[in-house]
Structure 1
Amino acid sequence: MAQGMKRLGVPVAAFFGVALIGLIATSWLLNRDALRQAVEAQIRAVTGLDLVVKGPIDVSVFPGSYVSFHDVGLKGGATSDPALSVDVLTANLRLLPLLLRRFEISDVMMLRPHISVVRDANGESNWTPFIDTIARTMKPGAENQVSFSEIRIQDGVLAYEDAANRVSEKLGDIDLSLAWPSISRSFAATGQFDWRGERVDGSVSVSDFVAALSGDRSGLKARLASAPLKLAFDGTVANRTSMMMEGTVTIDSPSLRNALRWAGQPPPGTGGFGRFALKARANLVGSSIALTNVNVELDGNVAEGVMTYANTGRQTLQATLAAGNLDFTPYISTFRLLASGARDWNRQLFDLNALNTTDLDMRLSAAKVTVGSSKLGRTAFGANLRSGALALSVGEAQMYGGIARGSFGISRSDAVADVKAQFQFIDVDLQACASELFGVTKLSGRGNLNVSLVASGASPFGLAQSIDGTATLTGHDGAIAGFNAEQLLKRLERRPLSGAGNFRSGSTPYDKLTIAVKFSEGVATAEDIRVEGPAARLTLTGTASVPAREYDMKGIASLVSAPNAASSFELPFVVQGPWDDPLIFPDPESLIRRSPGAAPLLDAVKDRKTRDAVRSVLERFTGGGLKPAAVPEAAAPAPAASAPAGAAKAN
């Protein structure tokens, strides 16, 4: 075998020797003008563009076989602006054809190319002739079929202009390798580029390049990876009358908020929109995409269903999704009705710009939903955002141990938000409902709540000032904590001037609770408030200021009479002060008049000044300095802060 190798080595060495001698001789005898013209003709045949050389031309045959053109422009016949300009374009030549005095390009390298893509209103671009020519020359059986095995781009720049859609983009520092071997129908491109301050690594492969260039269906695999976003597609593509793609798409982002900013889309609000992942079957036609078999994850929330997205001058998103557990807390955490650390309404102006960016139509169902401290069971709701008007609807939600239904709408008028809300809570736990919705912690029982409100304002405080509407509450089998009405009434019935004492303990049970309130310009007026218990009954009238969050109400408490009793004991009382810490105290005028010894004194005194002095002495005598309330011919009640020590506080 060794002898055979030796015998084989002689002709091989001889062959390479002859080839080397021929190559050296060719470099001496080469017609460089013919070589340059041949290279230009092949580039024109492949690209359909004329080669315009403004700089020097370098020709080398040995040791490297190439032609380098400096300051090169490629222009189409109908376009005055260059579609491509290159600092240095180098065409490497195939070795064997060169020995036979034929000039064939094996691959092309472009150093610092500037690529310009201009798209017109009809969807055509200045690169359409280039694409048509490649498709024509690469078809099997085409005359003078020419192909480059590879085109390398180094340190390139691409500018894209679409005046019809007002799109202008720029890619920089492009390093790509484009390959479509003449012996294969495939095409592949791999490399990197800079876009909007991020380095993007990408790859594209087309199974049938000729079909894809002709607009016919072809297999397509694409991948883009950057710090804000990763995207992959595996399917088919066609482009007869419009772009059509069908396949599996996957998207992954550590922060959807950052990815949206990077893509030039303003993210909604300031909370949430972190970790995001999507996998779906995609069907793209033109500027619309339909996603089926969707599996989407956002901020730990996972849902399945279908989605569609269209961009016809205005972005539109439609979705129908089902989920197990959903947590909406990140999206509402930055929306505060009350000022931080205060009992006043938040006066910060609304930012309503997000309402005008996208149209939304979403249907969502979940087994469990968390919104702040609220926990909901099985819930179905919808969201519709169109032309700046947002409408939220809750078909049915298991909430507070009962059922909740309702709708919430907000529309924009300049910087003012017009709000409309209608909610219905059926057979709910009143303690949980009143605590989370209104901050009232002293009410228990079960009942129904109906709310219908409208408001308009540029801030939560502005909304509070303009609230109009109604609210009704019916409860049963509960209690009002913080005071015992029966104990207080019995004590004052026996000794009216004994002082209120300490009755801020215990609770007042009720069998039936009725509350009917009407809102007008931020003031709630009690139309019917009744508490009916086994031992005591209470009725209330008056108003509550929504902007000030304060009560100004009067009521009557009475003991329930026995069946054979002649009359029942009734005591007027006053409720004043802030919602979260109101003062409740009995009417001292009524207590004085019920005292057998004190009432004749007041009746005997006809002069107003003398009567006020006597009443003052009696009040000091009772030990509490009971605060007057709605006394005829007397001054109005003093501010809540000056209430007597015996006044009760309750939520």
Structure 2
Amino acid sequence: MKKILYILLGLILLVVIGIGALVTFVNPNQFKPLLTEQVKKMTGRDLVIKGDISWRFFPTLGLSVGETAFRNPVGFAQPNLVQFKQADLSVSVLPLLSQQLDIGDMRLEGAHVFIQTLKNGVTNLDGLTDKKAIADKTATEKPAQHHENGAKKSHWEVSVAGIELVNASAEILNDQTKMTAQLNHINFTLDSFKPQTWTKATFDVQGKVNTLTFSAQGSTDINLAANYNNVKLKAFTAKMSMKDGDTEIKNAQLGLDQFTLGQWSNVTFAVNGQVPDLSFDTHGTAEVKLATDHNVVTVQGLKITNDLAGKALPRPNMNIVVNTDASYDISQKLALVSSININADGTKVSGSGSYLAATIPDIRFALSSDNIDLDSWLPKKTASTDSANTTVTAATNTSVAKAESDISTQEPDLSALKNINVAGVIAIKQLKVANAEVSNVKIVTSIKQGIATINRFEASLYDGKITGSASVNVNSALPSYRLKNTISNVAMLPLLKAVANNQQLAGKANITADLNGHGLSETNIRHNIAGSIKVNISDGAVYGVNIADMLRNAKAKLKGQADSGTDTAKKTDFSALTTTLMLGKGIASTNNFQLASPLLAINGQGQTNLVDEGIDLTINTKIVASGKGLDEIKGISVPIHVSGYWQQPKYRLNIKDLFKNNAALESKAKKEINRGLEKLFGDKAKDDNIKNAADKLLKGLFN
């Protein structure tokens, strides 16, 4: 028993003697030049250790490093990239005797990191891995000098078994984007720090970016290359939540099976949350590869599924699936989308494009679709609005006021057009817009310096074609616009029925429009639009009025007969209808309206108010064919006044104007009226009272 006790005491004595020898003969401060020298070689920066490096004996043998800072280059807001007040390291004793610094666990508390991007794009991280600069610095260094005792500098080998970062903080400034990020409660562990060896790393952090707050945590297995310039990952997982005002990401997850330069990685992600009037649940998968030169990121088979709900959508619930292949060249800041396919509730769009990151981003695209129902994505009109639009009458001022109040005064916000360059092509086989069926749509468009242009638009429209161009300039208080288009051989009846529920005009239309104005709200368009519209409609008909019947009935009234009561449809056929509409100051007017048919020749002039939709149009009708009961008024110009509103026009024969310029017709009409009175009253028709009453009737009719 005594022998065992002596052995234990001997071992304890050896340990005490060893520790005493360690403290006596190994000065840890001699590591300072070694550490600063290695950091200088690897980064070109200064590592400043102001505090002493001292031995720590409890709870394990190790080192304590005092206040230390890793410097920034001159010109940044803070002097240090990294700084800490105290670091503790556990050290293996025996390797020290062979000049090997094997650090077991390195623990840093309260460390702070500062990263800044200046307005010129330079950051305080630039050059840290510039091997050429490091080699140049190494080549210019002087050979190792002798110590005062004549001995050469010792050459130590350093390794770290593990790293633990506790309650650290960081600040990130970007002077280009005015972004400020503050990270706190940063905790990080690395099981070991040995090149070409797999080790586990974990992290968690909380922080704030401008007004956005967030928290994140995750883990991965990591493998550093021998030269520390590459890293491999596997089993990477991360979770995050964030909130910025009414925007909240409740849960975001990212998974990565492995990461190796030049090899494909399988990525999974999921995120759900909400923004004002919209909640979302998004998840997806992709294969990602980073080139060995760290310059090109390639994404293959990216599939993103979005389930959306909320008032911000055109529908209460939507499902949008995006599939794409893309790449990003970091040095050129160029993203290429080789293919993209979007399926939004059955509406499918495919194409390709590119994005060049610059002060003013540059976008190029080509998109196509077999079928798009644009109306299904637009807000539905309320029943009250539709009712107001269809019940406006000239006799009800309140209805007119209601129609005007339904016109939107809100200008769209197009300020984003000033900060982007875009050029692209859109092709759609079948398109439904404003309830009109359009096919074979091709659009060539561009946006540059605040001017959005449709350089070319063409489409098939109801047996005809439409071509045109348009532009919007947002570089003024109210955006200005210019529109030129040509409609060729379009069937008017189905078009008007589709877009305006109006079945009053049929025929093949050829229309040329040249319009301009300022302001894009409906109110400003109606008030400020100017230009001309030339109309030529052939082989058509005006529904709702039969002018020949109106003339026959007028003739019957002149003879004291009842209306003909014909069952003829209320339709006036014509061979050609031409006019030029001049638009300006809220009015569309014409002075050359002409309609020609085998029976009638019509010309007219007048105007319509684009704001309250009122009509004031006078049409002069002349019978040019014989027969059909109108021989007696052949060649006589009969004026018809059109009034009312667009949805409910009214037609009235202007008897006063009819007789004002036709004395013979007036005389004949008076004779017919007198003869009718004699038939009605017999001999009493010559009575003075009846004559006076007849005179008043005639004056009211002809004056």
- What TM-score does the superposition give when structure 1 sets the normalisation length? 0.70
Q: 1:245 aligns with which of 293, 296, 320?
A: 296
Distance across 1 between alignment mates of 2:413 and 2:640: 44
**Pairs aligned (count):** 578
Partner of 1:172: 183
Segment drifting more, 400-409 vs 61-70? 61-70
> Structure 1's 427 and 480: CA in aligned 2 closer, same or farther, altered over 3 A?
same
In structure 2, what is the Cα distance between the partners aligned to 1:346 and 1:102? Answer: 80
Cα distance in 2 between the residues matched to 1:74 and 1:491: 103
SS in 2 for 1:45: helix
Deviates more, 1:499-508 or 1:568-577: 499-508
Distance 2:373 2:468 in 1: 20
3-state secondary structure, aligned to 1:433: helix
User: Could you tell me how far 1:420 is from its partner in structure 2?
Assistant: 0.5
- 1:334-373 equivalences in 2 (<5 Å): 342-344=402-404, 345-373=407-435
* CA distance 1:492–1:122, shift in 2 (3 Å): closer
1: distance between equivalents of 2:230 and 2:118?
19
1:197 aligns to 2:213 (yes or no):
yes
The residue number in structure 1 matching 2:544 is: 482
**1:584 is matched with which residue?**
651
Secondary structure at 1:31 match in 2? helix
> Relative to structure 1, is the Cα distance of residues 67 and 615 closer, same or farther in structure 2, using a 3 angstrom cutoff?
farther
Letter in 2 for 1:314: I
Q: Which residue of 2 aligns with 1:117?
A: 115
Cross-structure match for 2:554: 492
User: Which residue pairs with 1:235 in the alignment?
Assistant: 289
Aligned to 2:23: 31
Would you say 1:103 and 2:101 are equivalent positions? yes
Aligned twin of 1:573: 640
Out of 452, 459, 467, the position equivalent to 1:390 is 452
SS of match in other structure, 1:464: helix
Contact residue 439 and residue 460 of structure 2 kept, 8 A: yes
Cα 1:390–1:178, aligned 2, differ >3 Å: closer, same or farther? farther
Secondary structure of 1:343's partner? Answer: helix
Name which one, 1 or 2, has greater alpha-carbon Rg: 2
8 Å contact from structure 2 (residues 372, 430) kept in 1: yes
Partner of 1:310 in structure 2? 356
- Provide, for residues 593-623 of structure 1, a one-character-per-residue CA deviation record: whole Å limited to 9, x for no partner: 75767546999xxxxxxxx997874598xxx
2:473 aligned with 1:406, yes or no?
no
- Which stretch shifts more, 409-418 or 370-379? 370-379
Alpha-carbon shift at residue 543 of structure 1 (Å): 1.6
Q: Give the 3 Å change call, closer, same or farther, for CA 124–409 of structure 1 in structure 2.
A: closer
Q: Which structure carries more relative contact order (alpha carbon 8 Å, separation 6+)?
A: 1
Q: What is the aligned partner in structure 2 of residue 161 from structure 1?
A: 173
**1:318 Cα deviation from its structure 2 partner:** 1.5
- Partner of residue 251, structure 2: none
Cα separation, 2, equivalents of 1:40 and 1:579: 92
User: In structure 2, how many angstroms separate the alpha carbons of the residues matched to 1:445 and 1:82?
Assistant: 80
Q: Which residue of 1 aligns with 2:370?
A: 324
Which range moves more in the overlay, 271-280 or 167-176?
271-280
- SS of the aligned residue for 1:548 comes to coil
- Structure 2 length as normaliser, TM-score? 0.66
User: What is the deviation of 1:579?
Assistant: 2.1
Distance 1:246 1:82, change over 3 A: same
1:509 to 537, 549, 573: 573
**Mapped pair 1:539 → 2:603:** yes
Letter matched to residue 103 of structure 1: L
What's the secondary structure of 2:552's corresponding residue?
A: helix
Distance in structure 1 (CA, Å) of the matches to 2:160 and 2:459 = 64
Q: Which deviations, in whole Å up to 9, do the C-alpha atoms of 1:427-459 show, x marking residues without a partner? A: 323134335556644223332222210112374
Q: Secondary structure at the match of 1:286?
A: coil
CA distance in 2, matches of 1:462, 1:429: 30
Name the counterpart of 2:71. Answer: 75
Contact 2:101–2:158, Cα closer than 8 Å, also in 1 = no
Summarize the Cα distance change of 1:310–1:150 in structure 2 as closer, same or farther, 3 Å threshold: farther
2:336 aligned to which of 291, 296, 311: 291
* Deviation, structure 1 residue 581: 2.2
Query: Structure 1 regions of 5+ residues with no counterpart?
Result: 1-17, 138-142, 259-266, 604-611, 621-625, 635-651
How many percent identity over aligned positions?
Answer: 16
Kindly indicate whether the alpha-carbon contact (under 8 Å) linking 1:455 and 1:467 is maintained by their aligned counterparts in 2.
yes
- CA–CA separation in structure 1 for the residues paired with 2:445 and 2:600: 46
Which residue of 2 is the match for residue 641 of structure 1?
none
Farther-moved stretch of structure 1 (339-348 vs 398-407): 339-348
Q: Could you say if the C-alpha distance between residues 77 and 312 of structure 1 is closer, same or farther in structure 2, counting changes exceeding 3 Å? A: closer
Q: Does the CA-based 8 Å contact 1:97-1:103 persist in structure 2?
A: yes
Check whether the contact 1:316–1:360 (CA below 8 A) recurs between aligned residues.
Answer: yes
Give 1:359's aligned amino acid.
Answer: N
Give the alignment of 1:41-60 within 5 angstroms.
41-42=34-35, 45-46=38-39, 48=43
Paired residue type of 2:546: N
In structure 2, how many angstroms separate the alpha carbons of the residues matched to 1:21 and 1:490? 136
Q: Cα deviations across residues 397-434 of structure 1 (Å, max 9, x unaligned)?
A: 23334322212211024311111011222232313433
Name the CA distance, whole Å, in 2 between partners of 1:581 and 1:374: 22
Q: Does the C-alpha gap of structure 1 residues 293 and 592 become closer, same or farther in structure 2, counting only changes over 3 Å?
A: same
Deviation by residue 1:522-562 (Cα, 9 ceiling, x = unmatched): 33222433334455454321122223322211002344513
Q: Is contact 1:318–1:362 with CA below 8 Å preserved after alignment?
A: yes
Q: Distance in 2 between matches of 1:446 and 1:319?
A: 36
Amino acid at match of 2:592: D
Distance in 1, matches of 2:699 and 2:291, equals 91
> Which amino acid in the other structure matches residue 116 of structure 2?
V
Rounded to whole Å, the distance in 1 between the matches of 2:504 and 2:55 is: 94
User: Residues 159 and 244 from structure 1, CA distance in 2 versus in 1: closer, same or farther, beyond 3 angstroms?
Assistant: same
- 1:520 corresponds to which residue? 584
Deviation, 1:390, is 0.9
Secondary structure at the residue paired with 2:325? strand
Alpha-carbon separation, structure 2, partners of 1:132 and 1:187: 26
Query: 1:83 deviation in Å?
Result: 0.7
The C-alpha deviation readout for 1:212-270, integer Å capped at 9, x for no partner, is 579xx95386978755788977223477xxx8324226484849999xxxxxxxx9x9x
What corresponds to 2:4 in structure 1?
Answer: none
More deviation in 44-53 or 341-350?
44-53
| CA displacement 1:556-598 (0-9 Å, x = unmatched) | 2344513896725653111123222222211131567757675
Cα distance between partner residues in 2 of 1:203 and 1:296: 33
The superposition leaves residues 99-126 of structure 1 with CA deviations (integer Å, 9 ceiling, x where unpaired) of 9784323564544543211234665432
State which of 126, 136, 140 in structure 2 corresponds to 1:128. Answer: 126
Describe the superposition over 1:25-49 as per-residue Cα deviations: whole angstroms up to 9, x where unpaired: 8667653984476489548735756
- Cα separation, 2, equivalents of 1:20 and 1:492: 134
Classify 1:23/1:402 alpha carbon distance in 2 versus 1 (closer, same or farther; 3 Å): farther
Compared CA separation, residues 212 and 29, structure 1 to 2 (3 A):
closer
Deviation digits for residues 372-411 of structure 1 (CA, Å, limit 9, x no counterpart)? 5333322211221111111124432233343222122110
Distance 2:566 2:92 in 1: 106
Aligned to 1:7: none
1:464 to 514, 519, 526: 526
The 8 Å contact of residues 100 and 156 in structure 2, kept in 1 or not, is answered as: no
Q: Distance in 2 between matches of 1:277 and 1:110?
A: 45
User: How far did 1:356 drift?
Assistant: 1.7
